[in-house]
Amino acid sequence: MRIKLEARGQQSKLMSYASPILAALLTLICGAFLFWMLGKSPMQALHTFLIMPISDPYRIAELLVKAGPIVLCAMGLSICFRANIWNIGAEGQLLMGGLVGSCAALALLDSQGIWVLPLILVAGILGGMAWAAIPAFLKNYFNTNEILSTIMLNYISLNILLHGVHGPLKDPNGFNFPESALFSDWQTMPILLEGTRLHLGVSFALLAMVGVWVLMSKTFIGFQIKVLGGDERSAHFAGFKHKRLVWFCLLLCGGLAGLAGVGEVTGPIGQLVPNISPGYGYAAIIVAFLGRLHPLGILFAGLLMALLYMGGEMVQIHLDLPLAVTGVFQGMLLLFLLICDVLIGYRIIVHKSAPKIVKQSLSIEPPAVAIEGK
């Protein structure tokens, strides 16, 4: 028997939706196998990992709290990715949003009033945008590869944040713990559901979803972004302003990631701490692709990703497994998604005959080597 991949000739619409589901299933199967290898009952482990996190209202609220920042970042990333701008820097932009937002909060520590929180949020958004402006500037004027610049900036922002919490932003009355002072009630997000940590920031993710959907499917600038990503040369031919679009996409993504960051410090955390994000900005990359860069898809993928984070904590508490399980599941999910995406362009053909050396495979068809340029 011989298994062969054959080009479909046309991208399969069905597979492009089925692929994320298939990837999730394969992740489950391999995850069960992984738990079995670790000496746990696969069914019980999967139950702890996937069902327990959503078994009561409080936990569901927690899931939403975790999904909020992931979805916000992924919405921004999806716009960049649609334009073929490979922004890997949502994490850094999120951290910067948290840091700048915290600076604003600490500067306004004694202020009271309804205007304080919006001001802090705007500061956080601007922080994220400023951080995203660096790769946008480098890309536009020095043709720097944004993948490299955004990844490097992630580490830089983390270190600036660490410097802040260990230095100037440290709470003078905090017994030398690397944490800022606690924010006041005027500076933190109102709780939406009493008895949970579900805060106002989570609703921003839904607003962002609607906004991104309108932007990408209704507006001319969204159209220009899609053209730029679909075919840069056509965008140039039509006269779309490439540099402006790069600024727009990166700044918008930076703003959303910054909002996610400041939402964390003013929401569930309530102060600036060294680790305000367990890799939400990186997880958002997986979420954006898992959701097919579509706002609704991203929402569901974001919830799934939040479930993995929750599940990781559950198996740590109940089964004595390391938190790294979350990372392994994230990795498997992305890996299987990429593998399954091959099926969008190709189909699997199983030949029953015994393998034989076919002459055909040795030849190079002349059109395949055509390199004639202009």
Site string for other proteins, 34-73 (x = CB under 8 A): ----------------------------------------
How many Å separate Cα 25 from the centre of its chain? Answer: 21
Q: Which is nearer to other proteins, 162 or 221 (CB)?
A: 221
Minimum distance from CB of 361 to other proteins (Å)?
A: 9
Residues 109, 270 contacting (CB under 8 angstroms): no
Residues 312, 323 contacting (CB under 8 angstroms): yes
Residues 201, 266 contacting (CB under 8 angstroms): yes
Q: Which of 230, 274, 322, 331 binds other proteins (CB under 8 A)?
A: 230
Q: Judged by CB under 8 A, which stretch of 37-45, 93-101, 130-138, 354-362 contacts other proteins?
A: 354-362
How far apart CA 206 and CA 49 sit, in angstroms, is 26
- Amino acid letter, residue 369: V
Name the token pair of 70: 């992931």
Q: Which of 17, 223, 247, 300 binds other proteins (CB under 8 A)?
A: 223
Residue 248 has φ and ψ, to the nearest 5°, of -60, -50
- Angle at which helix 146-166 crosses helix 90-107, to 10 degrees, equals 30
Residue 365 binds to other proteins (criterion: CB under 8 A): yes
Minimum distance from CB of 357 to other proteins (Å)?
A: 13
Q: Is the backbone of residue 239 left (phi > 0), alpha (psi -120 to 50) or beta?
A: left
Residue 219 binds to other proteins (criterion: CB under 8 A): yes
Residue 175 binds to other proteins (criterion: CB under 8 A): no
Residue 370 binds to other proteins (criterion: CB under 8 A): yes
How far apart CA 374 and CA 310 sit, in angstroms, is 55
Q: Which is nearer to other proteins, 23 or 235 (CB)?
A: 235
Q: Which of 43, 111, 237, 339 binds other proteins (CB under 8 A)?
A: 237
Residue 372 binds to other proteins (criterion: CB under 8 A): yes
Residue of 307, 311, 335 whose CA lies nearest to 325: 311
Minimum distance from CB of 289 to other proteins (Å)?
A: 17
Site string for other proteins, 84-113 (x = CB under 8 A): ------------------------------
* H-helix or E-strand spanning residue 289: helix 280-290
Reduce the DSSP state of residue 346 to 3 states and report it.
strand
Residue 241 binds to other proteins (criterion: CB under 8 A): yes
191, 207, 316 from 54: Cα distances, Å: 20, 24, 16
Q: Judged by CB under 8 A, which stretch of 126-134, 187-195, 222-230, 286-294 contacts other proteins?
A: 222-230
Residue 238 binds to other proteins (criterion: CB under 8 A): yes
Residues 299, 59 contacting (CB under 8 angstroms): no
Residue 240 binds to other proteins (criterion: CB under 8 A): yes
How far apart CA 345 and CA 340 sit, in angstroms, is 10
Q: Which of 2, 4, 163, 236 binds other proteins (CB under 8 A)?
A: 236
How far apart CA 5 and CA 46 sit, in angstroms, is 33
Minimum distance from CB of 13 to other proteins (Å)?
A: 11
Residue 231 binds to other proteins (criterion: CB under 8 A): yes
Q: Within 199-218, which residues bind other proteins (CB under 8 A)?
A: 218
Q: Judged by CB under 8 A, which stretch of 36-44, 62-70, 192-200, 239-247 contacts other proteins?
A: 239-247
Residues contributing to the site for other proteins (CB under 8 A):
9-10, 218-221, 223, 226-227, 230-231, 233-234, 236-241, 358-360, 362-367, 369-374
